[in-house]
């Protein structure tokens, strides 16, 4: 373990409180960007490249659940809730493609960043909602085309390498506005959208004291710094808009509109067991997870336990 913790994050508008935590509150960690998303951070955690990840709920739960079904240790657990609101996934195709709605996507080529990423998982949630999953068939509802980055996905739907892809609405919107890609639908996550995970080494061993923290002091300090970043974000919305519209790939108008839709956790420490169970339920129904999966074992800190040491 390095002296300075390493946090993997997606360099999008949702990362603004992390930036503020580092800029204003001496966040005791290095921020390492992973523009290709949660699936890449799963690999980075397992490779020892990062210690903590801030990513999409469905990506973390899918990785943890698949590890259980193969009796492997993925090496991390969910320790925090970063964003309380669901995520709006926009469904996009090429600007001149003759695909005008979700109904015609069955059997098409779905571009994803990585297998197991949020863009992959939500495709199967969409297929479940549309009634395209046949439990008696071995055929998948889509051909999956891994393309790593958002830029590659945009190119792929225009050159027909892929027929459609799914990405967060406001991150996609600039490219609708400039005519690069076309929006054909949307789908919301049935769960709060962003969670924080940490490597198992940052979880304290069990103690005879039932009120003792389950996190190491360095992880507790890190999460409290993120809390301060969130509070700064909420109290300084104009600073947030300026950062998002000058340092990230968003217009000022889109940054302001996004602020109306998002609600960060007042205390990022801990995760609700019910949210994890709901995610497991939906991912199992969608065919992303198979077999019995224990939601409780995915959690490094329950919110009910976090209250004890606020």
Q: Are 30 and 108 in contact (CB under 8 A)?
A: no
Average pLDDT of the residues in 183-197: 96
Over residues 123-132, the pLDDT tens digits come to 999 999 999 9
Q: How far apart are CA 134 and CA 132, in angstroms?
A: 6
- Predicted local distance difference test score (pLDDT) of residue 119: 93
| pLDDT at position 2 over 50 | no
Q: Which of 305, 300, 295 is nearest to 275 (CA)?
A: 295
Cα 124 to Cα 137: distance, rounded to the nearest angstrom: 15
Q: Is the pLDDT of residue 96 over 50?
A: yes
Q: What is the pLDDT of residue 205?
A: 57
Domains of the chain by residue range = 5-85+192-309, 88-188
Average pLDDT value for the chain: 92
pLDDT band at 3 (very low <50, low <70, confident <90, very high): low
pLDDT reading at 209 higher than 50 = no
pLDDT value, residue 153: 98
Instruction: Give the pLDDT score at 42.
Output: 95
pLDDT for res 211: 41
Whether 138 has a pLDDT exceeding 90, the answer reads no
pLDDT greater at residue 70 or residue 6: 6
Q: CA angle, corner 270, sides to 266 and 276, nearest 5? A: 110
The topology (CATH level 3) of 88-188 is D-Maltodextrin-Binding Protein; domain 2 (3.40.190)
CATH of the structural domain 5-85+192-309, one choice from 3.40.190.10, 3.30.70.260, 3.90.1150.10, 3.40.47.10:
3.40.190.10
Q: Would you state the pLDDT for residue 208?
A: 44
């Amino acid at each position: 373990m390095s002296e300075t913790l390493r946090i993997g994050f997606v360099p999008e508008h949702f990362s603004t409180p992390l930036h503020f935590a580092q800029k204003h509150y001496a966040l005791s960690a290095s921020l390492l960007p992973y523009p290709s998303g949660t699936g890449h951070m799963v690999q980075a955690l397992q490779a020892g490249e990062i210690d903590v990840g801030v990513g999409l709920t469905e990506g973390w739960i899918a990785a943890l659940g698949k590890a259980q079904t193969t009796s492997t240790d993925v090496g991390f657990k969910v320790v925090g809730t970063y964003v309380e609101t669901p995520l709006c996934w926009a469904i996009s195709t090429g600007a001149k493609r003759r695909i005008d709605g979700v109904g015609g996507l069955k059997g098409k080529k779905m571009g994803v960043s990585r297998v197991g990423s949020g863009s992959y998982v939500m495709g199967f949630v969409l297929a479940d909602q549309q009634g395209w999953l046949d439990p008696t068939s071995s055929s998948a509802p889509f051909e999956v085309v891994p393309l790593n980055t958002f830029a590659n996905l945009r190119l792929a739907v225009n050159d027909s390498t892929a027929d459609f892809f799914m990405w967060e609405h406001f991150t996609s919107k600039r490219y609708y506005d400039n005519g690069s890609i076309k929006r054909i639908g949307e789908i919301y996550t049935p769960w709060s959208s962003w969670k924080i995970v940490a490597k198992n080494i940052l979880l304290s061993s069990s103690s005879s004291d039932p009120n003792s923290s389950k996190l190491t002091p360095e992880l507790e300090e890190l999460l409290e710094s993120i809390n301060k970043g969130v509070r700064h974000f909420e109290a300084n919305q104009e600073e947030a808009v300026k950062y998002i519209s000058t340092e990230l790939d968003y217009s000022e108008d889109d940054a302001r509109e996004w602020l109306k839709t998002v609600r960060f956790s007042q205390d990022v420490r801990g995760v609700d067991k019910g949210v994890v169970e709901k995610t497991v339920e939906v991912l199992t129904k969608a065919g992303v997870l198979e077999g019995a999966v224990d939601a409780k074992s995915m959690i490094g800190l329950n919110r009910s336990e976090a209250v004890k040491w606020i």
